[in-house]
Structure 1
Amino acid sequence: MTEYKSSLAQRIVIAFVVMAVLVAGAFAVGIVTAVHLVEERLISAELESDLDLLLKARDPKELHLATRANQFFYFSGGEGRFAIPDDLAELGEGFHEVLREPFFYHVMVKKVGDRRYVLIQDQSDFERREQVMYAIVLIGFLLCVLLATMLGWLLGRKVLEPVARLARQVRHRDQLLALAPPLALDYAPDEVGQLAAAFDETLTQLRQALQREQLFTSDVSHELRTPLMVLASSCELLLVNPILDERARKQVERISRASANMQKLVETFLQLARAESGQTNGVSKVSLQEVADELVLEWRAAIEAKGLCLEYISSDYTSGLYNGSFLRSILGNLLRNALHYCDSGYIRLTLQADGFVVEDSGAGIPQDLHETVFDSFVRGNRERGDGLGLGLSLVRRICLHEGWHIQLTPVVPHGCRFAVDLHGKRAARS
């Protein structure tokens, strides 16, 4: 399962929101706590002062006059309206908050000698104002969080804008061209400018490496053509020699086939190197039908000699024209790969409207190699021959250069299927 990782902009927003929650939350809690403490101390002091005044009264008339409109006074042994109610009888000495539905009361209890005195005061209006204040604090807290979210989003977008622009420039394919302008000139000499300078240095090294690779491939391919032609002509002369015995003739024919295959591979590398350097003169364009017919005729004898059935379906094929050398190399490598890893059953070549499919009933490619089978020097079953694992790597390199896509899927119950899209609609398997 892929682990989800938030983007840098999201992390900036989260940091602002967390900071706002902590700061605004601390202020809100502080305000609520302060209000509660002030309420308790001020009101308790006021009730205690009023209760002391009531205790100085001499008769019920004075008690009635000293009591405020929203206050009620009770004491132990009091009669009538001065008798302590049952819900207040168990309250301890000091300040209390009591809810008598639907009103709130603040209660002060004082004990003098054996007698208990209780003064309660209706605080419903105060509680309502307190609830309004709490609502204002909550709204302020939410507004702070919302403001922090917007500020974090705007700041993250502003801060990351040059980073995103740099990423687009680095990702652009023109950066691999030799004449691509430096990136650092577009940025201030800050952290982003340093990152752009580092990309400039890395891209310069990459361009030089690619240029060296293209020159090496082109030079080596060009230099190998002459000895391969000598080898091929020598094989032709040996084959027409009448004194050559049958065993030696088979060895010479094998050398001749290997030389021809090597010559085609060298030609493909040479054309690929020239194409990647922008030299496209003299490229022959052919149809998929022509290449398929040619290679089926070339490979049918070897496939059937191994006891395999070669199925060729060409009823629905694309009518476009393509680089002949590249198309021959891709199709030839896939047919060779199928022949190499298939011991029984069939090899099927199907031409389609958007490309072609090479399918076989061989041992298949292990699942753990599906992601790396197109890399250089990666081979399937190492017990089969001494190849270097460059065939499929060359196939993918050609497809990437031409904008074609190749996809590998397994065949049930065994085998593999290579689908090549010459129109570039499918996703490539890499």
Structure 2
Amino acid sequence: MDIKHSLKQRIVIVFALMSTLVAGVFAVGIIATVHVVEKRLTTISLGGNLHRQLTQDRIEDWRHRPEKDELFYADDGIGDVAMSDDLKNLEPGFQEFFRGKKEYYAMVETVGDRRYVLLRDQRKFEKRERILFGVVLVGFILSVLLAILLGRLLASRVMAPVSRLAGQVRHRDQLLEMAPTLADDYARDEVGALARSFDETLGRLRAALGREKLFTSDVSHELRTPLMVLATSCELLLEYPRLDERSRTQVQRISKATAGMNQLVETFLLLARTEGKNAPQGQRASVVQVAEELLEVWRVPIEEKGIQFVYVPCEGAEKLTYNAPLLRSVMGNLLRNAWHYTDHGAICLTLNPHGFSVEDSGIGIPQEKQQAMFQPFVRGDEQRGEGLGLGLSLVQRICANQGWSVTLTSREPAGCCFTVVLEAAEQSLG
């Protein structure tokens, strides 16, 4: 499992691991050195004591022991006590020797045919070793805790300029043209190099945003003229007295579509200019009004395809109003998506007190691809030639801007259901 830590945590972890390694090496080295030195000194001390015992002028002086924790044995019975069989089997020289649960250091020497053994009790050494081990363990723990504390302090100081730089980059004003450069506040080190890279990147981003604003403004300006021509032509055609009823109905549909296009152009221009903030409130309409408008637009093409179009209204939904162009764009794109990917069955538009849903019996969208469907240029069925994969992305952007939510679920045995929830914070009584 890939566990991700912040840079500050990584610095603390590195300090702790490094100190643990160094303290562990020192602790093992101290213990090993003490053990080796102790064994060496004990060998020299026991050998010297045994030699002094053997050089006494009188045999009865052998009972005199320089150390209280030492026992002297001789195989002829002279000594502390008679030599037992386990002592007789010891090899000459220094060695460790166990008698029951007690551990001794033993120095064995043979002079002629006689064997002499000097034993020293290890309990005093074991006690000193336990104290040493305790001191080393406490020092090891304290060194690790001190390393963690120092690591946190140093990490905070090291990460302070990085955190400050991150805050400056996240600040909204940094995208403005008059925003000061970041690199001037930092030294010419790695953080300064990072700040200069951010300055260059933010500069390119400002230029891209500027070009996007100019593009949306140009598109809006250039589309107004043909839309105005369409609207004026529709008005003139509607005033023509010899226009039959069928033609008049078609002209009225063209006029409504032109007005809707003009509102969408204005709305999209506002969305681009607000840079993610809520778009200003313009023309408002209820879900029922928008649904009935779109029924007139989509009923004919849906039924011409041999698909049943079902509309389920909701009582009380007409009391709440929303941004009409944006709501019309969301609902219209979902209906267009359902019409495009459904070849038989039915499409159902259902209103509810909190929003609406669009269900279809089309080809459906696999579970693993549902989240990606709201990304730009992602299409449900790549084999279908029409569409650029921008409709659902536009729906997602409008919902995010207005505080609405859109979810996608699968239907059985096939098809999709898009549910849009319109937040109460964006609603007002009509």
TM-score where L is the length of structure 2: 0.83
Aligned match of 2:10: 11
1:49-128 aligned at under 5 Å gives the runs 49-57=48-56, 59-66=58-65, 68-78=67-77, 81-100=80-99, 103-128=102-127
- State the alpha-carbon separation in 1 of the partners of residues 397 and 71 from structure 2: 95
Q: Find the residue that maps to 1:105 and give its secondary structure.
A: strand
C-alpha spacing 1:354/1:266, structure 2 compared with 1 (3 Å): same
Aligned match of 2:158: 159
Aligned match of 1:347: 347
- State the alpha-carbon separation in 1 of the partners of residues 214 and 75 from structure 2: 110
Instruction: Report if the CA contact (8 A) 1:225-1:266 is conserved.
Output: yes
Residue identity matched to 1:360 = D
Residue identity matched to 1:9 = K
Aligned match of 2:428: none
CA-CA distance at 1:355 after TM superposition: 3.1
Instruction: Report if the CA contact (8 A) 1:318-1:351 is conserved.
Output: no
Residue identity matched to 1:39 = E
TM-superposition CA deviations, 1:122-161 (whole Å, max 9, x none): 2312321221111110110111111111221222233223
- State the alpha-carbon separation in 2 of the partners of residues 380 and 331 from structure 1: 18
Instruction: Report if the CA contact (8 A) 1:377-1:388 is conserved.
Output: yes
Aligned match of 2:269: 273
CA-CA distance at 1:195 after TM superposition: 1.9
Q: Find the residue that maps to 1:372 and give its secondary structure.
A: helix
Residue identity matched to 2:326 = F
- State the alpha-carbon separation in 2 of the partners of residues 262 and 365 from structure 1: 33
1:28-39 aligned at under 5 Å gives the runs 28-39=27-38
Q: Check if 1:328 corresponds to 2:328.
A: yes
Q: Check if 1:360 corresponds to 2:356.
A: no
TM-superposition CA deviations, 1:26-85 (whole Å, max 9, x none): 111111111111111111111101101111235541111255432111133436844333
Instruction: Report if the CA contact (8 A) 2:281-2:323 is conserved.
Output: no
CA-CA distance at 1:292 after TM superposition: 2.5
410-419 or 169-178, which deviates more: 169-178
- State the alpha-carbon separation in 2 of the partners of residues 37 and 354 from structure 1: 82
- State the alpha-carbon separation in 2 of the partners of residues 396 and 174 from structure 1: 26
CA-CA distance at 1:237 after TM superposition: 8.6
- State the alpha-carbon separation in 2 of the partners of residues 83 and 411 from structure 1: 98
Instruction: Report if the CA contact (8 A) 2:73-2:118 is conserved.
Output: yes
Instruction: Report if the CA contact (8 A) 1:360-1:417 is conserved.
Output: yes
TM-superposition CA deviations, 1:231-252 (whole Å, max 9, x none): 67778999989999x9xx9xxx
Instruction: Report if the CA contact (8 A) 2:94-2:107 is conserved.
Output: yes
Aligned match of 1:390: 390
Instruction: Report if the CA contact (8 A) 1:405-1:424 is conserved.
Output: no
TM-superposition CA deviations, 1:168-210 (whole Å, max 9, x none): 3333444444454444455444322332332232123212212
- State the alpha-carbon separation in 2 of the partners of residues 259 and 107 from structure 1: 114
Q: In percent, how many aligned pairs have the same letter?
A: 49
Instruction: Report if the CA contact (8 A) 2:73-2:79 is conserved.
Output: no
* Structure 2 unaligned blocks of 5 or more: 426-430
Aligned match of 1:428: none
Aligned match of 1:129: 128
Instruction: Report if the CA contact (8 A) 1:316-1:351 is conserved.
Output: no
CA RMSD of aligned residues (A): 3.6
C-alpha spacing 1:172/1:320, structure 2 compared with 1 (3 Å): farther
TM-score where L is the length of structure 1: 0.83
1:237-256 aligned at under 5 Å gives the runs none
Aligned match of 2:309: 309
- State the alpha-carbon separation in 2 of the partners of residues 406 and 187 from structure 1: 44
CA-CA distance at 1:341 after TM superposition: 1.1
Aligned match of 1:371: 371
- Residue correspondences, number: 418
* Structure 1 unaligned blocks of 5 or more: 426-430
1:150-189 aligned at under 5 Å gives the runs 150-189=149-188
Residue identity matched to 1:284 = Q
C-alpha spacing 1:110/1:26, structure 2 compared with 1 (3 Å): same
- State the alpha-carbon separation in 2 of the partners of residues 289 and 187 from structure 1: 58
- State the alpha-carbon separation in 2 of the partners of residues 316 and 122 from structure 1: 98
Instruction: Report if the CA contact (8 A) 1:361-1:415 is conserved.
Output: yes
Residue identity matched to 1:159 = V
1:139-158 aligned at under 5 Å gives the runs 139-158=138-157
TM-superposition CA deviations, 1:206-237 (whole Å, max 9, x none): 12212211221231233123335546777899
Q: Find the residue that maps to 1:389 and give its secondary structure.
A: coil
C-alpha spacing 1:114/1:259, structure 2 compared with 1 (3 Å): farther
TM-superposition CA deviations, 1:313-359 (whole Å, max 9, x none): 42474955432111111111111111111223332333344433222
